[in-house]
Amino acid sequence: MKLLLFLTAGSLVLAASAEDLSQTYAGSGELILAPFVSAPFPHPQRAEGHQYKDQFYSASEHYADNTVALFIPKGFNETGVIDLVVHFHGWRNNVAGVLKHYQLIEQLTASGRNAVLVVPQGPKDAADSFGGKLEDPDGFKRFMAEVAATLRQKSGLQRKDLTLGKIVLSGHSGGYQVIASILHHGGLTEQVQEVWLFDALYAQTDKFLAWTERRQGRLIDIYTEHGGTREETDRLMAILKQRGTQFLAVRESEINMGDLPSKGAIFLYSELPHDDVIDKHQTFRDFLKTSFLGERR
C-alpha cells in the first residue's frame, strides 16, 4: 500500500510538472510531454545503473524517465505531412532543463519554420552518451512511429491523417552517439535530411562520414577549441579533402549565417564556450532558417 501511494504521488508530481511546463510555452504553441514505450529508457543495458569514473548513476534516478517533449509552434501549417527536428541533449541534463537553458522552443518560434520539435529524455542528469532503445536496430523507427501516433491522439492538430515527413537530427555534446547509431542502423534513411552537431563530434566519425557519402543532405558540425571535438573534426575534414569531397570550413564569426549552404558538409569553428554554441548566438534558430524546412503561415 505504501509503495502504491508513493508511485501515485510521484505520478501526480510529474503530471503537475508537465502541466506547468506546458503552460510556460502556451503562448508560443502547444507543448506535449508524454511517456513513450519506445523512449530511450528504461533499457536493459542500464538496468543496474551506470558507473562513470567515481560516480554511480542508479537506474531508478537516471534511467527510468521515459518522457518525450513534442512542441508544435503557433501558426503551424497543417498539410498532413509533418517535418520534425529531433534534438538529443548532452551529459547531465534533462528535458525541462534543455528546453529552458538552450531556448530551443524560443529559437524554433523565432525561425518561422514549419516543424515539430521532439526532445526525448536521454540519460537523466548523468554523465553518459548512451542512447538506450534508440541505439537498437529499428529503435528510432519505432520511436518516430510513436511520435506520429502521439501527435494524432494528443495534439490539437485538426488533421488526424498525418504522416511523418523529413527529419533533422540535432545533438549537443554527448548527443552525438545516439545520432551516429541512428544513421548507422538506418530505418528512416530517406527521411533524415540534415544532421546538426553542436560541439558533438567526439567519436564514431566513420558513421557520419558514411552518411554524408550516402545522402545528398546537410551535415553541420560546429566545434570549439576546448570542447574536445576539434581533433575528430579535423580528421573528418582531412578524409573529405583526401577523397575530393567539397565542404565549407569557416569561422562562425566570419560568415553570415543566412548564407549557409543548404547541402553538403559544413564545419563552423566557434570561439564560444562548449555550453554556449546552441543559444548564445541563436545558432539553432539560424540552422533552422537555412534548412529545407518550409515557413509557417
- Read off the pLDDT of residues 262-278 as tens digits, 9 standing for 90 and up: 999 999 999 999 999 99
What are 48's three cell numbers? 543496474
Band of residue 292 on the pLDDT scale cut at 50, 70, 90: very high
What are 69's three cell numbers? 517533449
Would residue 153 count as lying in a domain?
yes
Total residue count of the chain as it appears in this document: 297
What predicted TM-score, i.e. pTM, was given to this entire model?
A: 0.94
Would residue 129 count as lying in a domain?
yes
Domain containing 194 equals 29-289
- Say whether pLDDT at 11 is over 80: no
What is the rounded average pLDDT of the residues 177-183?
Answer: 98
What is the percent of the chain with per-residue pLDDT over 70, rounded to a whole number?
A: 95
What is the percent of the chain with per-residue pLDDT over 90, rounded to a whole number?
A: 90
Would residue 39 count as lying in a domain?
yes
Would residue 20 count as lying in a domain?
no
CATH label of the domain that carries residue 164: 3.40.50.1820
Q: Are 70 and 151 in contact (CB under 8 A)?
A: yes
Would residue 216 count as lying in a domain?
yes
Band of residue 6 on the pLDDT scale cut at 50, 70, 90: very low
What is the rounded average pLDDT of the residues 209-214?
Answer: 93
Distance CA 195, CA 210 (A): 13
The pLDDT, as a whole number, for residue 8 is: 53
Distance CA 222, CA 233 (A): 9
Please tell me what DSSP assigns to residue 159.
-
Would residue 24 count as lying in a domain?
no
What are 282's three cell numbers? 541563436
Please enumerate in sequence order all residues whose Cβ is within 8 A of that of 219, keeping only pairs 6 or more positions apart, or say none: 194, 195, 197, 208, 211, 212, 264, 265, 266
Would residue 294 count as lying in a domain?
no
Tell me how many domains the chain contains.
1
- Say whether pLDDT at 59 is over 80: yes
- Read off the pLDDT of residues 186-209 as tens digits, 9 standing for 90 and up: 889 999 999 999 999 999 999 999
Q: How far is CA 243 from the centre of its chain?
A: 29
The pLDDT, as a whole number, for residue 215 is: 84
The pLDDT, as a whole number, for residue 14 is: 53
The pLDDT, as a whole number, for residue 219 is: 98
The pLDDT, as a whole number, for residue 20 is: 86
Look over the chain and give the mean of its residue pLDDT values, rounded to a whole number.
94
- Read off the pLDDT of residues 87-135 as tens digits, 9 standing for 90 and up: 999 999 999 999 999 999 999 999 999 999 999 999 999 999 999 999 9
Would residue 210 count as lying in a domain?
yes
- Say whether pLDDT at 7 is over 50: no
- Say whether pLDDT at 9 is over 80: no
